[in-house]
């Protein structure tokens, strides 16, 4: 099973700042990594798939990068509604696995 | 509008069974892999099971293998999860999810609203 390790566990930033979230895989997932946003009481929302492709309707301030074992989700110019938990997920091997999440707090 | 609507959750005793349903609309259901993903209380996301667009391939997470069965009915645009031998640790919100690219495994771009399953005596 591929283990995904996300860092930091918690990130506290102010509106307008840039957030950088990391996801590291225990073995190469090539480009097959996705990022999701999860808010309390809502279904997960796909942000990025296959490392850098923005999902439909996702603002350009969300961007993904990386390949192999190291990936980054960047959120430029944070807005209050970006407060959420962010998860990465790999789909190169079964079982699909998620990271443990990064909680982003907007001050 | 692309939509997934789950139903069938509820309270069940340990060892019991439950069947979840997910009705799809707004897209060609028979062209997409479909999956179930769950979130236990105060926990992260966990992939449960996936089924190929034509039903010819099925995958399960280790924690549910041999207890849960995923299947689909393209005539009804529906996805199901039969859950047997339920355990307290199966308590979670269960989401039905569609992949982003047809005929490919992939990230989950459309999710249902979730249905809560509580396993408790």
Q: What one-character-per-residue DSSP string does A54-87 give? A: EPTT--TTEEEEEETTEEEEEE-S--GGG-EEEE
pLDDT in the model for residue A101? 97
Write out the two tokens for B121: 């005596």
Residues of chain A with pLDDT under 70: none
- In the predicted model, what is the mean pLDDT of chain B? 97
Local confidence band at B89 (pLDDT 50, 70, 90 cut-offs): very high
The minimum CA-CA distance between A56 and chain B, rounded to whole Å, is 8
SS3 B13: coil
Q: How far is CA A102 from the centre of its chain?
A: 8
**Which backbone phi and psi does B84 adopt, to 5 degrees?**
-115, 165
Mark which residues 33-62 of A lie under 8 Å from B by CB: 34, 36, 38, 43-46, 49-50, 55-56
Q: Give the largest Cα separation in chain B, rounded.
A: 41
Q: Residue for token digits 């005793």?
A: B13
Judge whether residue B70 has pLDDT over 90. yes
Cβ of A101 within 8 Å of Cβ of B112? The answer is no
Mean pLDDT for B109-120 is 97
Q: How confident is the model at residue B18 (pLDDT cuts 50, 70, 90)?
A: very high
Q: List the structure tokens of A21.
A: 């979230």
From A55, A97, A98, residue closest to B100, measured CB to CB: A55
Closest CA to B37 of B118, B120, B113: B113
Would the CB atoms of B45 and A36 count as touching at under 8 Å?
Answer: yes
Neighbouring CB atoms inside 10 A of B22's CB total 25
Q: Which of B59, B100, B112 lies nearest to residue A94, judging by beta carbons?
A: B59
B45/A38 Cβ within 8 A: yes
Q: Which residue has the tokens 């640790």?
A: B89
Predicted confidence (pLDDT) at residue B106 exceeds the cutoff of 90:
no
Nearest Cα of chain B lies from the Cα of A53 at a distance, in angstroms, of 11
B48 pLDDT exceeds 90? yes
Q: Which chain B residues touch A56 with a CB distance below 8 Å?
A: 109
| Structure confidence at residue B15 as a pLDDT band (50, 70, 90) | very high
Predicted confidence band of residue B25 (pLDDT cuts 50, 70, 90) = very high
Find out whether B9 and B116 touch, Cβ atoms under 8 Å.
yes
Tell me, what's the pLDDT at A92? 97
């Amino acid at each position: 099973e591929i283990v995904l390790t996300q860092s930091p566990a918690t990130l506290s930033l102010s509106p307008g700042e840039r957030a950088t979230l990391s996801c590291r895989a225990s073995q190469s997932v090539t480009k097959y990594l996705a990022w999701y946003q999860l808010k309390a009481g809502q279904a997960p929302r796909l942000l990025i798939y296959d490392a850098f492709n923005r999902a439909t309707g996702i603002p350009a301030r969300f961007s993904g990068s990386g390949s192999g074992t190291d990936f980054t989700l960047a959120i430029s110019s944070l807005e209050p509604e970006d407060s959420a938990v962010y998860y990465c997920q790999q789909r190169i091997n079964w079982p699909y696995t998620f990271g443990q999440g990064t909680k982003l707090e907007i001050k | 509008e692309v939509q997934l609507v789950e139903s069938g959750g509820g309270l069940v005793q340990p060892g019991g069974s439950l069947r979840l349903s997910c009705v799809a609309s707004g897209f060609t259901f028979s062209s997409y892999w479909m999956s179930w993903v769950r979130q236990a209380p105060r926990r992260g996301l966990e992939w449960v099971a996936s089924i190929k667009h034509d039903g010819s391939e099925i995958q399960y997470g280790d924690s549910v293998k041999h207890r849960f069965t995923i299947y689909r009915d393209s005539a009804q645009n529906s996805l199901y999860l039969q859950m047997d031998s339920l355990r307290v640790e199966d308590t979670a919100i269960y989401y039905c999810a569609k992949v982003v690219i047809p005929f490919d495994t992939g990230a989950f771009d459309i999710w249902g609203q979730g249905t809560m399953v509580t396993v408790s005596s």
